[in-house]
């Protein structure tokens, strides 16, 4: 049996670990274009700020890889022939497969304004991007950041840490408006301003101005010009689906898969950022760009490729991130609508978060410690926890397990409720009864 995995990210590595747990002898070949192989994409933010060195991005040793016993080919897959069950590498070398996993991930949505190809226009998609940013970021120089979501903040804070003066352009009236509520957006914005970031609301990039081949400034839609030496953008990501499209796989925004992560070709699977999986919480097939679901999907896909017939049960989306230096946990359905700063989905994001069900919001806390809970009839549907993380684990489990919250619902919705006390008391009683 020959298993071929396209992609070197979290989903691809997890699939190899799963295949090996079942099939000790089958041939496994991973094909990828990134010269660095598998590393922690979320860790790039900490590389930018100088909190970790390059080597910390690589969680596996050569001994770990030896135990998994697979071949790695640094190549570009130019075609999938689903009828012949072969790939074409670099336009010339055929590679046959018995089972194939497409774990090609997603790429940064491109900036399409005039001047986007100038030297000093940067994104944060992979390790080479981060290294290029570190070369371009000069203390005392000025940067403009464009976009929304987590990556735009990672760029902002990374450039600040490198001593740059940072201007952050937001097309709307607040930060990450389809996931955070107004109070949460304002907490993040206030912290950025304290750190020295200049925020520009209702500001849209019209063109990037160059001097020779290098960035020298930006012109906004209102005609204003900001002089700068670097432009960083994070306007969303797009799943890498071109190979799948040409191979005749069924697509929507990503590759559509069934509960076993199979595509419409039973020997071809998809996992990670490129896969669009069914979400029982919303009833839709959604995209996630989160490390944990990518690993879970890769693990289940690998087991199924090795003949285990195990369904993927999508868990409640959960992410612990850092927004303007503030630890923030986002769980379940918390937001709504459209964000002008993001095209589609952003890294570290889940489409499930965008769904705000018919529910009541309970919240408490101000400044750096804040909690917002989405209260359904019998269950908690989502939560945002900023600052103190005492409630993040109990809330994640209460939401994921769909615990009946009838006994505390009225208390949560009482005016000026002490939400933390109510949740901790409920969780303690649940654990005692379990």
Q: Which phi and psi angles does 400 have, rounded to 5°?
A: -65, -40
Q: Is the torsion defined by CA of 221, 192, 385, 105 positive or negative?
A: positive
Name every residue whose Cβ is closer than 8 Å to that of residue 87 and which is 6 or more positions away in sequence. Answer: 4, 6, 31, 77, 79, 80, 81, 94, 95, 96, 97, 100
Residues 294, 287: Cα–Cα separation, whole Å: 10
For residue range 369-387, list pLDDT tens digits in order. 899 999 999 999 999 999 9
Helix (H, G, I), strand (E, B) or coil at 143: strand
- 215 and 255 housed in the same domain: no
pLDDT of residue 226: 98
For residue range 297-317, list pLDDT tens digits in order. 999 999 999 999 999 999 888
- 297 and 322 housed in the same domain: no
- 382 and 301 housed in the same domain: no
- 195 and 87 housed in the same domain: no
pLDDT of residue 425: 94
Residue 422 and residue 411 in contact, taking contact as beta carbons nearer than 8 Å: yes
Does residue 310 fall inside a structural domain? Answer: no
pLDDT of residue 355: 67
- 67 and 152 housed in the same domain: no
Name every residue whose Cβ is closer than 8 Å to that of residue 401 and which is 6 or more positions away in sequence. Answer: none
What single DSSP character describes residue 337? S
Residues 386, 382: Cα–Cα separation, whole Å: 14
pLDDT of residue 357: 59
Domain tally for the chain? 3
pLDDT of residue 239: 97
Domain of 266? 2-106+238-305
Instruction: Give me the half-sphere count of Cα atoms (radius 13 Å) on the Cβ side of residue 87.
Output: 26
The per-residue DSSP string of 340-394 comes to: TT-SSB-TT-BGGGG---S-EEEEE--TT-EEEEEE-SSSEEEEEEES--TTHHH
Residue 32 and residue 129 in contact, taking contact as beta carbons nearer than 8 Å: no
pLDDT of residue 337: 66
- 63 and 152 housed in the same domain: no
Q: How many helices (H) and strands (E) does the chain have?
A: 11, 26
Does residue 193 fall inside a structural domain? Answer: yes
- 115 and 99 housed in the same domain: no
Residues of the chain with pLDDT under 70: 337, 354-359, 365-367
Burial of 336 (0-12, 13-18, 19+ CB in 10 A): middle
- 425 and 404 housed in the same domain: yes
Q: Which of 172, 187, 190, 147 lies closest to 344, judged by CA?
A: 147
Does residue 88 fall inside a structural domain? Answer: yes
pLDDT of residue 364: 72
Q: Facing residues of 101 across strands?
A: 5, 269
Q: At which of 210, 234, 258 does a domain end?
A: 234
Does residue 247 fall inside a structural domain? Answer: yes
What single DSSP character describes residue 262? B
Q: Which CATH number does the domain housing residue 263 bear?
A: 3.50.50.60
pLDDT of residue 307: 97
Burial of 275 (0-12, 13-18, 19+ CB in 10 A): buried
Q: At which of 219, 234, 249 does a domain end?
A: 234
Does residue 312 fall inside a structural domain? Answer: no
For residue range 209-221, list pLDDT tens digits in order. 999 999 999 999 9
Q: At which of 305, 337, 362 does a domain end?
A: 305
Does residue 390 fall inside a structural domain? Answer: yes
Q: Which of 340, 345, 337, 317 lies closest to 254, judged by CA?
A: 345
Residues 137, 143: Cα–Cα separation, whole Å: 8
Residue 5 and residue 12 in contact, taking contact as beta carbons nearer than 8 Å: yes
CB neighbours of residue 89 within 10 Å: 17
Name every residue whose Cβ is closer than 8 Å to that of residue 248 and which is 6 or more positions away in sequence. Answer: 82, 264, 265
- 26 and 168 housed in the same domain: no
- 379 and 425 housed in the same domain: yes
Q: How many residues does the chain have?
A: 434
Helix (H, G, I), strand (E, B) or coil at 205: strand
CA Rg value for the chain: 23
Q: Which CATH number does the domain housing residue 402 bear?
A: 3.30.390.30
pLDDT of residue 252: 96
Does residue 155 fall inside a structural domain? Answer: yes
Residues 427, 421: Cα–Cα separation, whole Å: 10
User: pTM higher than 0.75 for the full model?
Assistant: yes
pLDDT of residue 359: 67
Does residue 311 fall inside a structural domain? Answer: no
Residues 40, 31: Cα–Cα separation, whole Å: 18
pLDDT of residue 366: 59
Residues 357, 382: Cα–Cα separation, whole Å: 9
- 324 and 416 housed in the same domain: yes
- 123 and 8 housed in the same domain: no
Rounded to 5, what percent of the chain is helix, strand, coil? 30, 30, 40
Distance from first CA to last CA of the chain, Å, rounded? Answer: 45
């Amino acid at each position: 049996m020959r298993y071929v995995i396209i992609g070197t990210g979290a989903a691809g590595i997890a699939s190899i670990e799963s295949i090996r747990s079942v099939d000790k002898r089958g041939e496994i070949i991973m094909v990828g274009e990134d010269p660095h192989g598998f590393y922690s994409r979320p860790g790039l933010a900490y590389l930018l700020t100088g909190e970790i060195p390059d080597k910390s991005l690589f969680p596996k040793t050569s001994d770990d890889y030896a135990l998994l016993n697979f071949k790695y080919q640094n190549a570009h897959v130019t075609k999938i022939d689903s009828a012949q069950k072969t790939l074409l590498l670099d336009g010339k070398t055929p590679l046959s497969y018995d089972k194939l996993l497409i774990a090609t991930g997603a790429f940064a949505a491109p900036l399409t304004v005039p001047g986007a190809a100038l030297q000093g226009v940067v994104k944060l998609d992979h390790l080479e991007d981060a290294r290029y940013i570190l070369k371009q970021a000069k203390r005392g120089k000025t940067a403009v950041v464009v976009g929304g979501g987590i990556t735009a903040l990672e760029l902002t804070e990374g450039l600040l840490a490198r001593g740059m003066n940072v201007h952050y352009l937001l097309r709307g009236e607040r930060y990450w408006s389809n996931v955070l509520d107004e109070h949460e957006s304002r907490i993040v914005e206030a912290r950025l301003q304290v750190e020295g970031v200049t925020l520009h609301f209702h500001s849209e990039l019209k063109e990037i101005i160059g001097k020779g081949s290098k960035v020298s400034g930006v012109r906004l839609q209102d005609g204003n010009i900001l002089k700068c030496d670097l432009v960083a953008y994070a306007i969303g990501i797009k799943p890498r689906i071109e190979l799948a499209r040409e191979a005749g796989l069924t697509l929507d925004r990503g590759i559509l898969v069934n509960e076993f992560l199979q595509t419409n070709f039973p020997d071809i699977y998809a996992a990670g950022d490129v896969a669009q999986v069914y979400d029982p919480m919303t009833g839709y097939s959604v995209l996630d760009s989160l490390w944990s679901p990518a690993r879970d999907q890769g693990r289940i896909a690998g087991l199924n490729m090795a003949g285990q017939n195990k369904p993927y049960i999508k868990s409640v989306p959960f992410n612990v991130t850092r927004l303007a230096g503030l630890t923030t946990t986002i769980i379940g359905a918390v937001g709504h609508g459209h964000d002008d700063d993001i095209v589609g989905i952003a890294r570290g994001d889940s489409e499930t978060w965008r769904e705000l069900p018919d529910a009541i919001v309970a919240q408490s806390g101000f400044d750096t410690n804040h909690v917002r809970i989405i209260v359904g009839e019998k269950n908690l549907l989502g939560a945002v926890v900023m600052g103190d993380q005492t409630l993040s684990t109990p809330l994640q489990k209460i939401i994921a397990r769909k615990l009946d919250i009838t006994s505390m619902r009225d208390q949560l919705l009482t005016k000026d409720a002490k939400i933390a006390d109510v949740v901790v008391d409920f969780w303690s009683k649940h654990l005692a009864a379990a």
